[in-house]
Structure 1
Amino acid sequence: MLDRSLVTFITAGDPSPKKTLDFMLVLERYSDVIELGIPFSDPVADGSVIQKANVRALKNGFRVRSVFEIVREFREHSERRVVLMTYYNPVFRMGVEKFVRLSAEAGVDGMIVVDLPADSSEEYVRICKKHGIRTIFIASPNTTDERLRVIDNASTGFVYLTSDYGTTGRRDKIGEKAFDLLRRAKNICRNPVGVGFGVSKAEHVRSLIDAGADGVIVGSAIVELVEKHGKDADGYIEERVRELAKGLG
């Protein structure tokens, strides 16, 4: 699913479903994968930028089912891969089978359920496989080698490595912990590995790709442009993502 790839993230429904589609059509010009976040009221893994995007989308009346319509409309224009990022509560409330089926019917390629542990995911993984949805699980710098293997075994898309502890958000530089984790993961994982959390510059992308990452994930650096420019963010997003893509070489 990843091969020297740029993965870009935005929050669905921020500032509106129509603009989410517009932003996706901008992102797909320079991104290999688009990660679409489903707004959630308690996004514990997300930093302040994405937390505020979730609040804006929910205040605007965004509902989970809206994300399927956005992806369905996107599929009328593009075959670029789309990954949904969510927490388990919306999946559980709708029902795992129904949620995954609707995702597949809309044209979703993969899913990240941030707070679902890999070793408790057997039913979810089985249902995703049934509907052709790739599974993506997350590892952090303090993830042991043993647990990396569990995460890799549960993943069918790629393994998402977080560059640091804590929540998402821009960093000035990518710390050595990220490169240590990347080296371990490349020795252990059979799946491609992508690195996210804090990536905001082309030089970050380049350094991670050069170190062996199969993909680099950028979120807060894009979402903050939506916060600043709202419905007029298209051009700013294009400029930022075009620059980031240069880091792929």
Structure 2
Amino acid sequence: MATKRMKAVTGGDKPLFIPFITAGDPSSAATIDIALTLQKAGASILELGIPYSDPLADGPTIQAASKRALKHGMSLEKALKLVPQMRERGLTIPVIIFTYVNPLMQYGEKRIVEEAANYGIDGFIVPDLPYEESGDFAELCNQFNLSLVLLVAPTSKERIVKIAERSQGFLYCVSSLGVTGARAQFDPRVYEFLQTVRKASTIPTAVGFGISTPEQASKMRQHSDGVVVGSALVSKIGELEQRLLDENKRSEALLEIERLVSSLAESEDQ
């Protein structure tokens, strides 16, 4: 069962565009401003990554972002508290927290779900939480009207169907095996996989891992209901780090981010 915000977004005909950023990269204030910029540029849902020292699913670009955020003192608790500040500033799109099992368990599953519900967060993505072990956390999210978005990779059709039945809000399709990161091209077999997932799912499907150009986003959109863009955006944030940290230069840096994201979001309608 998706939250009201998730239903409002995924229930329409507009393709999903889901950008990923790391909380606290390069600062808390910049993260809030970036989130609002992403909404302005056409984001459907915001994927907010929690910086973590051992991010198994993340490639070098997002690992570097985690290191920058941790260096500046970001934590899971502080990241969650950024969301109500975003809401106060006018963020209305759903926010999905991207984190890993270890910090989730250390923080406390019930505690994080309760706080997420109170802070205006809409759900979670936990990439190292296997389908077989996700039932309890999915039920806990359900109790608080939050979505647990599951990842599905190329596997047996039977397993794809099971994952599709449990995922909430949308179904995150992994475009290639391995970690996140921009890719020049994709294995042609990914499109057959996406068609299989789309037929099995009763909720929207979004493709992530490696999408970095408008052309790739447009191509993936032909086989899914939207795309997730992470490394390309996080890389741009890394390039703009010093200007984002400078309040006098942040606005011009945000314009660069807006132009990048708009080009990727607009490709969805082509």
Same fold flag (TM > 0.5): yes
Q: In structure 2, how many angstroms separate the alpha carbons of the residues matched to 1:210 and 1:116?
A: 29
Q: Which amino acid aligns with 2:46?
A: I
Instruction: State the Cα RMSD in Å.
Output: 1.2
Q: Does 1:34 align with 2:46?
A: yes
Residue number in structure 2 paired with 1:106:
119
Give the SS at the match of 1:45: coil
- CA shift, 1:247, in A, is 0.9
Q: In structure 1, how many angstroms separate the alpha carbons of the residues matched to 2:92 and 2:189?
A: 35
- CA shift, 1:149, in A, is 1.7
238, 244, 248: which one pairs with 2:264? 244
Residue number in structure 2 paired with 1:156:
168
Q: Does 1:229 align with 2:240?
A: yes
Give the SS at the match of 1:15: coil
- CA shift, 1:52, in A, is 0.5
Q: What does 1:121-160 align with in structure 2 at a 5 Å threshold?
A: 121-141=134-154, 143-160=155-172
Q: Does 1:92 align with 2:105?
A: yes
Structure 1: gaps (5+ residues)? none
Following TM superposition, the consecutive aligned residue runs of length 4 or more in structure 1 with deviations greater than 6 angstroms are none
- CA shift, 1:236, in A, is 1.8
Q: In structure 2, how many angstroms separate the alpha carbons of the residues matched to 1:93 and 1:191?
A: 31
Structure 2: gaps (5+ residues)? 1-5, 245-249
Residue number in structure 2 paired with 1:7:
18
TM-score by length of 2: 0.88
Paired positions, count: 247
Give the SS at the match of 1:216: strand
TM-score by length of 1: 0.96
Q: Which amino acid aligns with 2:128?
A: D
Q: In structure 2, how many angstroms separate the alpha carbons of the residues matched to 1:169 and 1:163?
A: 11
Q: Which amino acid aligns with 2:125?
A: I
- CA shift, 1:169, in A, is 0.5
- CA shift, 1:26, in A, is 0.4
